[in-house]
Chains A and B, each alone.
Chain A
Amino acid sequence: MYNLLLKELKLGVNPFFYILPLLTGALMLIPGWLYFLVILYFCFITVPNLFGGYKSQNDLMFTGMLPVAKKDIVKAKVALIVLLELLHIVIAVIYGLISVRLYPNLTYYFFAPSIGFWGLCLVMLAIFNLLFIAMYYKTAYKYGAASIVSITAATLFAGGAEWLGIQSPLVHDLFKGSGADSITTQLSILFACIAIFAIFTFLAYHIGYKRFLKVEI
């Protein structure tokens, strides 16, 4: 599995996509922006390009010929997605820390880059992973429909969360009111979201693997 992941990192991913998080992350410096977008750029740009590359380079056939188990083929791709997602989040978090220090007295209409907000980003990516990976492995090469559905769902989640943050007193309080100052509340939200991310991504892998077994390469 490890050599397959290395294969993805060396062959599958254009170095541009390792730099992209630095560029999209810098958008965290826009005061009071809709910060979900920073992470969504991974779904908008990296994923379709990455999987388009796999398709044009005949990766499915190439990997299918290697002495590796089908299970590991799916596992490595899922691991790669998670790795890139974490890269985007970690870099965005760093820019976020700079952002809150740059504008200490800003009133945020949308979510501020708080610990809880990063948790919500993970849930957004969890939804994205579940839909994208499960749909992609129906064919293991068609990424268009999977991208459209998963991106739409992730965007709807982000929009819904922002709407609740404004409309719902409970959510508002958790993320922007008294909850924002409580480190316990924020960490609890984060851990719950990490758990959701882990469960959804594992489920995505499991469904993807089951579907991949039926794929004719």
Chain B
Amino acid sequence: MLVLDIKHLNKHYEHFSLKDVSFQLEKGYIMGFIGINGAGKTTTIKSILNLISMDGGEIHVLGKNITQHEVELKQEIGYAFGDINFYSRSKIKTLTNVVKSFYRNWDDETYRKYLKKFNLIEDKKIAELSTGMKVKYSLALALSHGAKLLILDEPTSGLDPAARDNLLSIFQELVQDGEISILFSTHVTSDLEKCADYITYIHDGQIVNSAEKEAFVDAFRLLNGTKEQLELVKDRLISYKTNSFGFTGLIHTKDFEPSPGIVSAIPNLEEIMIYYSRKEEAYV
């Protein structure tokens, strides 16, 4: 079953556009949504939450159209924004008491369980929480109202390695039962290598690829060779860097024909992102 189904999403701004964004998320999985800053991750997420109006396309959450069933679907969606604070001078207790009144499936017992698990103290103010704790608090709220889809926008940005690892383990635990699905935007690609099942890569408002993690990485090859060899493959490379020894470049696996001397390797997500973002610069 599809938890999230985005079809041909278009949104135009003066200096930026989302162009024909489409991808799907299966129930019970974690999807990493990657792209450099300004690639359109947050705009896509805002469209999923119906916070901005779409110029074209359709978004279905749990099989229902978000623009038509917004209020009903928001009961099923949990969110955590890594970089936005709400009512940060209020105590956790105060904020929870307000938030819970909006959810028909709110479960106090679950809430207590997660407060304990995440070591959250109710008398603390939001401003007193560390970045990681804030994300955990958002998760505790989302899980207590029985959210089926968690939308996390940069939840791990600004976290130390230990807090990041801890949060990623929590994400994996959450999807274990197959009930909860997570869409997780980040530009820290190493997070996804640890926990994502699917990767969707957005670049300049367009989806480059959305696939299972292994298949996603397998669609690219990182080539190493001499400057002479560069001339042979230059036209087919997505982008490349040269140094005194030769070149390193990214290519679509389908465009790559093995030739003697050129070493090919499977790139990691970060390398794919770096070389993809060099694409425009290369032609300037």
Interchain CB contact under 8 A, A61 and B52: no
Interchain CB contact under 8 A, B84 and A61: yes
Q: Which residues of B contact A6 (CB under 8 A)?
A: 98, 101
Task: Give residues in B with beta carbon < 8 Å to A.
Answer: 46, 49, 51-53, 70-75, 79, 81, 84-90, 94-95, 97-99, 101-103
Interchain CB contact under 8 A, B72 and A64: no
A sample of 7 cross-chain residue pairs with beta-carbon separation below 8 angstroms, ordered by A number, consists of: A3-B102, A57-B89, A65-B74, A67-B74, A68-B102, A216-B51, A217-B51
Contact with B along A173-216 (1 / 0, CB 8 A): 00000000000000000000000000000000000000000101
Q: Which residues of B contact A216 (CB under 8 A)?
A: 46, 51-53
Identify A61's interface contact among B51, B72, B74, B102, CB under 8 A: B51
Closest A residue to B53 using CB positions: A216
Interchain CB contact under 8 A, B84 and A66: no
Interchain CB contact under 8 A, B51 and A66: no
Q: Is A62 an interface residue (CB 8 A)?
A: yes
Q: Is A59 an interface residue (CB 8 A)?
A: yes
CA distance A66 to B147 in the complex (A): 12
Interchain CB contact under 8 A, A66 and B74: yes
Closest B residue to A58 using CB positions: B86
From known contacts A3-B102, A7-B98, infer whether A68 and B53 are also in contact, taking CB-CB under 8 Å: no
Closest B residue to A70 using CB positions: B70
CA distance A68 to B103 in the complex (A): 10
Contact with B along A45-67 (1 / 0, CB 8 A): 00000000000011101101111
Q: Which residues of B contact A217 (CB under 8 A)?
A: 46, 51-52
Lowest 9 A-B CB distances belong to which pairs? A67-B74, A217-B51, A62-B86, A3-B101, A216-B52, A67-B75, A7-B98, A57-B87, A66-B102
Q: Which residues of B contact A57 (CB under 8 A)?
A: 85-89
Q: Tell me how far the C-beta of A178 lies from the nearest C-beta in chain B, rounded to whole angstroms.
A: 53
Interchain CB contact under 8 A, B79 and A65: yes
Query: Known contacts A7-B102, A61-B84, A66-B99; can you find 13 more A-B pairs with CB under 8 A?
Result: A10-B94, A57-B86, A57-B89, A58-B84, A59-B86, A61-B81, A62-B86, A65-B49, A65-B74, A69-B70, A69-B71, A214-B53, A216-B52
Identify A11's interface contact among B49, B74, B79, B90, CB under 8 A: B90
CA distance A6 to B102 in the complex (A): 11
Q: Tell me how far the C-beta of A28 lies from the nearest C-beta in chain B, rounded to whole angstroms.
A: 33
CA distance A214 to B53 in the complex (A): 8
Q: Which residues of B contact A62 (CB under 8 A)?
A: 86-87
Interchain CB contact under 8 A, B98 and A11: yes
CA distance A153 to B70 in the complex (A): 38
Residues of chain A in range 1-43 having any CB-CB distance to chain B below 8 Å? 3, 6-7, 10-11
Q: Tell me how far the C-beta of B66 lies from the nearest C-beta in chain A, rounded to whole angstroms.
A: 12
Interchain CB contact under 8 A, A67 and B72: yes
CA distance A6 to B73 in the complex (A): 22
Q: Which residues of B contact A61 (CB under 8 A)?
A: 51, 81, 84, 86
Closest A residue to B95 using CB positions: A11
Interchain CB contact under 8 A, A10 and B97: yes
Closest A residue to B103 using CB positions: A67
Q: Which residues of A contact B72 (CB under 8 A)?
A: 67
Q: Tell me how far the C-beta of B137 lies from the nearest C-beta in chain A, rounded to whole angstroms.
A: 13
CA distance A84 to B155 in the complex (A): 38
CA distance A66 to B97 in the complex (A): 14
Closest B residue to A217 using CB positions: B51
Q: Which residues of A contact B101 (CB under 8 A)?
A: 3, 6-7
CA distance A11 to B72 in the complex (A): 24
Interchain CB contact under 8 A, B98 and A10: yes
Q: Tell me how far the C-beta of B70 lies from the nearest C-beta in chain A, rounded to whole angstroms.
A: 8
CA distance A58 to B99 in the complex (A): 15
Q: Tell me how far the C-beta of B126 lies from the nearest C-beta in chain A, rounded to whole angstroms.
A: 10
CA distance A3 to B79 in the complex (A): 20
CA distance A217 to B50 in the complex (A): 9
Q: Which residues of A contact B74 (CB under 8 A)?
A: 65-68
CA distance A62 to B49 in the complex (A): 12
CA distance A7 to B87 in the complex (A): 11
CA distance A7 to B103 in the complex (A): 13
Q: Which residues of A contact B84 (CB under 8 A)?
A: 58, 61
Interchain CB contact under 8 A, B102 and A64: no
Q: Tell me how far the C-beta of A193 lies from the nearest C-beta in chain B, rounded to whole angstroms.
A: 35
Q: Tell me how far the C-beta of B71 lies from the nearest C-beta in chain A, rounded to whole angstroms.
A: 5
